[in-house]
Amino acid sequence: MDERAERRRRLQDKMKAAGVDGCVITQNVDLYYLIGSMQTGYLFLPAEGEAVFFVRRSYTRACEEADVAVEELGSMRGFGARLAEALPGLFRRPDGGKAVLATEFDVLPVQQFQRLEGAVPGARWVDGSMLVRETRMIKSAAEIAAIREAARVIDIAYEAAIAALRPGMAEFELMAEVESVIRRNGHMGLMRVRGYNQEIITGMIGAGSAAAMPTYFDGPAGGQGLGPASPQSAGRRPIGTGEPVLIDIGCCIDGYVIDQTRTAVVGELPDDLRRAYDLSEAVLRATEANLKPGVICEDLYAAALDQVREAGLSDHFMGFGRDQVKFLGHGIGLEIDELPVLARGFRYPLEPGMVIAIEPKFTFPGRGVVGIENTYAITADGFEKLTVSREGIAAVPK
C-alpha cells in the first residue's frame, strides 16, 4: 500500500470509530495530503471502499495528479445524486436513519457548507476536522525528510542573515536577505496556516521594541510590520546596537515547513535580557529531557510554566500581559499550526512520528523579545532534533 493510500486507510479507521459513514474533503492542503492533488473540488471518502474526487477545476490536472478515481463535478445540485449513484448503499441504512457525513468545519466557509447541505439532503453532517487533523498529526519518514530539508535550507538563510546584520539596517532588509536565500534554495514562497484569519510572512524578524509589539497573530512575538494592512513581522525600523534581534523564520520545501527561532544582537545584550535568553535555553533543554513517547503534551507545558515561575519571569513568558499566548509548542508539517499543541487541555501522549516546534520566548515591552525555537520529530526512544542551526546568542560586532 502506498503512502497516501495508507493515510486514507487511517482516516477511514477513525471514521468508523466515530460512527461516520463518509467524509467530504474540500480544503486544498487536506486534499493534497490524502490524494496528491489540490485542484478545486470535493473528495468523497467512504468509511468502506475507495475514494472519488469530484473536480470543478482543473479536471485535466486532477487526472494527472490524484491517485484516486476522478470525475467532473458538474452541477452542484446533482452532487447528492452522484454520491448515491457511486455508493448506492450510503443512503440506504438498515435502520432508515440518515447517513452521517463529516467535513472540515474548522476551515469550510459557511456558504460552501450550506451548499453541501442542500446538495445532499439525505445526510446528517458532523465536524470531521479533528479526524483529519489527528490523521495528519503522525508523519511518515518521507514527510519528516521534507521537513529536515527545510531545516537545512533555513540554516543557510540564518547564517546569511547573521552575515548581513549591521546597525542601522531596517528589519525588512534583513528579512529580504532571508527570503532571497530560501527562495533560491527551493522555498515554495508559501507557509500555510490553518487558523482562521492567521497569516505568516516567512516568519518574524524584529528588533528591540518593535519585536515586542503585540499583534493579531497567535504567537509570542508580533512585530511592527509595514503598517495596519500587514501588522506583523519586519518593519521599517532600523536595528540598533545592544537590543535583541529575534529571527523567527521558516521555509516550505515540497509543501512541508520548518519553524526556527534564534536571537542575535549587534554588540552585547543587557544582563537581564541575557539571563532571560539563558532561561529560554534551559526551558528547551528541560523539555527535551521529556520528549519521549507516552509523555502527555499538556504536562510539558505545565513543567515549563513551573520552571519559569521559579525563575521569576512568568509575566514575560510567551508574550506579556493580556497578549501572552498559552502554549509552549505546536505541531508542524504541511501547515505551521498542526497538532499536537503543548498547552493545557491537550492530553495527547507523544507518539513516534509527531513533529513539534518548541519555542520558549520572553517578551519585554519597549525593549524586545529573546528566545529560541527548535523543531523535533518524536522517535521510538526519544526525539530527533530537525533544526540544525547553531544555538546561543549570535553577537555581531558594532
What is the domain count for the chain? Answer: 2
pLDDT at site 379: 98
131 and 279 assigned to the same domain: no
What does the alpha-carbon distance between residue 15 and residue 102 come to, in Å, rounded to a whole number? Answer: 9
Cell 517578551 -> residue: 363
The answer to whether the bond into 75 is cis (omega within 30° of 0) is no
pLDDT at site 190: 93
The CATH number linked to 21 is 3.40.350.10
Cell 521529556 -> residue: 290
Domain end among 110, 136, 162: 136
Domain end among 136, 160, 190: 136
What does the alpha-carbon distance between residue 268 and residue 265 come to, in Å, rounded to a whole number? Answer: 6
Domain end among 91, 119, 136: 136
3-class secondary-structure state, position 60: helix
302 Cα distance to chain centroid: 22
Contacts of 26 (CB under 8 A, 6+ apart): 41, 42, 43, 103, 104, 107, 108, 112
**Joined grid coordinates for residue 90:** 450510503
Which three-class secondary structure string do you get for 176-188?
Answer: HHHHHHHHHCCCC
106 and 172 assigned to the same domain: no
| pLDDT under 70: residue ranges of the chain | 1, 93-94, 96
177 and 100 assigned to the same domain: no
130 and 156 assigned to the same domain: no
Do β-strands 203-207 and 123-127 pair in parallel, antiparallel, or remain unpaired?
A: unpaired
Contacts of 91 (CB under 8 A, 6+ apart): 83, 84, 98, 99, 122, 123
User: Residue 103: which H helix or E strand, with range?
Assistant: strand 99-103
187 and 267 assigned to the same domain: yes
pLDDT at site 1: 63
Q: Which residues, listed in sequence order, are joined to residue 103 by a DSSP beta bridge?
A: 24, 127
Pure H helices in the chain? 3-17, 28-35, 59-65, 79-86, 110-119, 129-137, 141-164, 171-184, 208-211, 271-288, 297-311
121 and 87 assigned to the same domain: yes
**Joined grid coordinates for residue 342:** 503543548
Determine the structural domain holding residue 234 and report its residue range: 138-396
280 and 379 assigned to the same domain: yes
68 and 203 assigned to the same domain: no
148 and 229 assigned to the same domain: yes
Structure-derived torsion over alpha carbons of residues 45, 47, 49, 51, reported in degrees to the nearest 10:
0
151 and 113 assigned to the same domain: no
The CATH number linked to 321 is 3.90.230.10
339 and 321 assigned to the same domain: yes
CB atoms near residue 240 (< 10 Å): 16
214 and 273 assigned to the same domain: yes
C-alpha angle 34-39-45 in degrees, rounded to nearest 5: 35
